[in-house]
């Protein structure tokens, strides 16, 4: 049996008012929604919170990870603009913003090249629930403990991590097509 996280429902409104920002240009992407699984809703909530907290930042990475410190799952969203890098951490049990940080990039990285290389567009990313269904087709009898969405050149890659006893399993999928291109057992 495949074990997925059970989260409290979020009552998220798509018009949660981040003002003119990256949120406006990303508003229609599939990760920003007010329907779907609790995980899908949690990611949507985290994205809106990120865009509200850092309106000019572009998303660089989304992570869902189990935290022993908080004894629950966290969503981490990392972002970037021409001058700064950003990060927020949200506790999924009560949807609290646990941490937020802004770090000035070194002068050598303030040329916009990092922004162009690292920022990802979420417009064509498949909904989390669709990606999770693809993963469930590939693997069963395992416990989910981590996933990440990150850009690698033109590829948006979802990386899912599972435990099955002592074995860990990593599944890599194309975020736009859902195509599984790597399964690693350790």
**Residue where one domain finishes, among candidates 118, 139, 174:** 118
Statement to judge: residues 92 and 140 lie in one domain = no
CATH code where residue 86 lies: 3.10.450.40
Distance CA 118, CA 132 (A): 24
Task: Provide φ and ψ at 95, rounded to 5°.
Answer: 65, 30
**pLDDT tens per residue across span 9-57:** 222 223 333 333 454 455 445 566 556 777 787 888 888 889 889 988 8
Statement to judge: residues 163 and 91 lie in one domain = no
Statement to judge: residues 133 and 114 lie in one domain = no
**pLDDT tens per residue across span 130-182:** 888 888 888 877 788 899 999 877 789 999 998 888 889 999 999 999 999 99
Statement to judge: residues 99 and 143 lie in one domain = no
Number of neighbours of residue 23 by Cβ within 10 angstroms: 19
Statement to judge: residues 98 and 53 lie in one domain = yes
- 3-state class of 16 per DSSP? coil
Statement to judge: residues 132 and 107 lie in one domain = no
Q: Is residue 7 part of a domain?
A: no
Tell me how many domains the chain contains.
Answer: 2
**Residue where one domain finishes, among candidates 61, 96, 118:** 118
Residue 113 structural domain = 22-118
Statement to judge: residues 34 and 78 lie in one domain = yes
Instruction: With 0.85 as the threshold, say if the pTM is over it.
Output: no
Statement to judge: residues 104 and 32 lie in one domain = yes
Statement to judge: residues 107 and 159 lie in one domain = no
**pLDDT tens per residue across span 69-92:** 767 788 999 998 888 899 999 887
Statement to judge: residues 62 and 142 lie in one domain = no
- Which residues, including other chains, have CB under 8 Å from residue 4's CB and lie 6 or more apart? 37, 39, 132, 144
Statement to judge: residues 74 and 94 lie in one domain = yes
Distance CA 8, CA 38 (A): 7
Tokens for 108, please give them: 């050598």
Q: Is residue 165 part of a domain?
A: yes
Q: Is residue 69 part of a domain?
A: yes
Q: Looking at residue 30, what is its pLDDT?
A: 55
């Amino acid at each position: 049996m495949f074990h997925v996280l059970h989260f409290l429902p979020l009552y998220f409104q798509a018009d949660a008012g981040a003002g003119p920002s990256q949120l406006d240009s990303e508003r229609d992407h599939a990760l920003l929604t007010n329907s779907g699984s609790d995980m899908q809703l949690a990611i949507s909530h985290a994205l809106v919170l990120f865009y509200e907290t850092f309106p000019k930042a572009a998303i660089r990475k989304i992570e869902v990870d189990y935290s022993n410190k908080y004894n629950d799952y966290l969503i981490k969203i990392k972002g970037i603009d021409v001058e700064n890098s950003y990060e927020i951490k949200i506790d999924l049990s009560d949807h609290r913003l646990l941490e937020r940080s802004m770090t000035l990039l070194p002068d050598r990285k303030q040329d916009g090249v990092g922004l162009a290389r690292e920022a990802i567009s979420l417009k064509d990313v498949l909904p989390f629930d669709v990606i999770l269904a693809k993963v469930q087709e590939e693997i069963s009898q395992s416990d989910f403990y981590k996933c990440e969405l990150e850009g690698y050149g033109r590829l948006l890659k979802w990386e899912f991590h599972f435990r099955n006893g002592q074995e860990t399993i990593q599944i890599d999928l194309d975020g736009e097509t859902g195509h599984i291109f790597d399964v690693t057992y350790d």
